[in-house]
Amino acid sequence: MAESGVVVIKRLDETVVNRIAAGEVIQRPANAVKEMIENCLDAGSTTITVSLKSGGLKMLQISDNGHGIRREDMEIVCERFTTSKLKEFDDLKTIATFGFRGEALASISHVAHLSITSRTKDSKCGYKASYLDGRIKGSPRPTAGNTGTQITVEDLFYNVPTRRKAFKSPSEEHQKIADVMTRYALHNSGKSFTLRKTDGDSGPSGGVSVRTQLGSSFVTNIGTLFGSKVAKEVIEVKHYDTQLQLKTFGYISNANCSMKKFVFLLFINNRLVDCSVLKKSLDSVYQSYLPKGSHPFVYLSLEMPTNNLDVNVHPTKHEVHFLHEDEVVTSVQKQVEASLLSCDSSRTFYMQK
């Protein structure tokens, strides 16, 4: 307030504005990893490796074997609203479902030291560049390397001390990243995902905390990621609801398997989301099959027309809503119950023989 008591409104400096906005998009290392994994997948990668130092706070590196970024695009790739995924205006309707476009790399460059090395298959060499506040520093420099992209994020929130101080535990951040990786690794079974810790005591695993192999099946990966006990007791769910144009696919545990906590992995149109209404309704289905206090493992991938999905306006808001929510939830619930029943009867049948 000015001395006279008059309120003075000042325009914030542009750099500060950008930094605040970026901090909203990227709230912690795991957000950055999720956005970057999706970029790798969009680029057609089949092998994705993430390396971390201090839970990604000190260093977070993600390498893929996707189609790479062209040299000329390296110049603008970190500017806000630059994207290679919005070719026609028509796309906007589809893209709107994902709420935002072309903001992930830009945001990261406002709150961390970012560098990109990339090579397209038609290029004789790769190129490397560093970025600050949405802009490239200098020009891309030629470098050796395979087709694909490697993005390195260092000193996340170095310029936002309050945010930086809020991270008490690198191992908690590591765990959150491992959780995101585990979910994407299962959903993208057949592609290879690796999460590696490159500092401190890496232990007997060599610092690898998540790993799936090229060509692995869903069930194999459930075993690798969630344990062989669960993998032995899962059943496949596969259904198409013509009326709702809803495709349901997944693996769910049967009545022999009980988890201490409800493990629920939900992808809608290939994006990792939360849906508490669906979660609650599935937990209640299992209550009549499982002993008290035990919970199921449920991995579901739903596909529905994008115009039925509520605009997920913000990348950190994972909770989704959709049109005909009651009908969708009921349809999925029915499928899960039917699968549970059918596996029950086949078991009885098998035992009677």
- Which option in ligand ADP, Mg ion, none does residue 145 bind, with CB closer than 5 to 8 A by kind? none
- Under the binding rule (CB under 6 A), the answer on residue 173 touching ligand ADP is no
- Nearest Cα to Cα of residue 236 among 222, 256, 225, 246: 222
- Nearest Cα to Cα of residue 342 among 215, 217, 236: 236
Residue 143: CB minimum distance to ligand ADP, A: 16
Cβ nearer to Mg ion, comparing 24 with 236:
24
- Under the binding rule (CB under 6 A), the answer on residue 84 touching ligand ADP is yes
- Under the binding rule (CB under 5 A), the answer on residue 104 touching Mg ion is yes
Note whether 328 and 304 are within 8 A (CB).
Answer: yes
Residue 98: CB minimum distance to Mg ion, A: 8
Site size for ligand ADP (CB under 6 A):
20
Chain centroid to Cα 345, Å, comes to 36
Instruction: Find the angle CA(184)-CA(185)-CA(189) to the nearest 5 degrees.
Output: 115
Interface residue with ligand ADP among 26, 74, 105, 302 (CB under 6 A) is 105
Interface residue with Mg ion among 18, 30, 31, 39 (CB under 5 A) is 39
Site for ligand ADP in 16-35 (CB under 6 A): 35
Question: How many other CB atoms are found less than 10 A from the CB of residue 226?
Answer: 20
- Under the binding rule (CB under 6 A), the answer on residue 102 touching ligand ADP is yes
Chain centroid to Cα 257, Å, comes to 27
| Alpha helices, DSSP H, located in the chain | 14-25, 29-42, 71-74, 91-96, 104-111, 161-166, 170-187, 218-226, 228-232, 276-287, 325-352
Instruction: Look up residue 133 and give its DSSP letter.
Output: T
- Which option in ligand ADP, Mg ion, none does residue 234 bind, with CB closer than 5 to 8 A by kind? none
Binding footprint of ligand ADP on the chain (CB under 6 A): 35, 39-40, 43, 64, 66, 68-69, 77, 82-85, 101-106, 149
Binding footprint of Mg ion on the chain (CB under 5 A): 39, 104
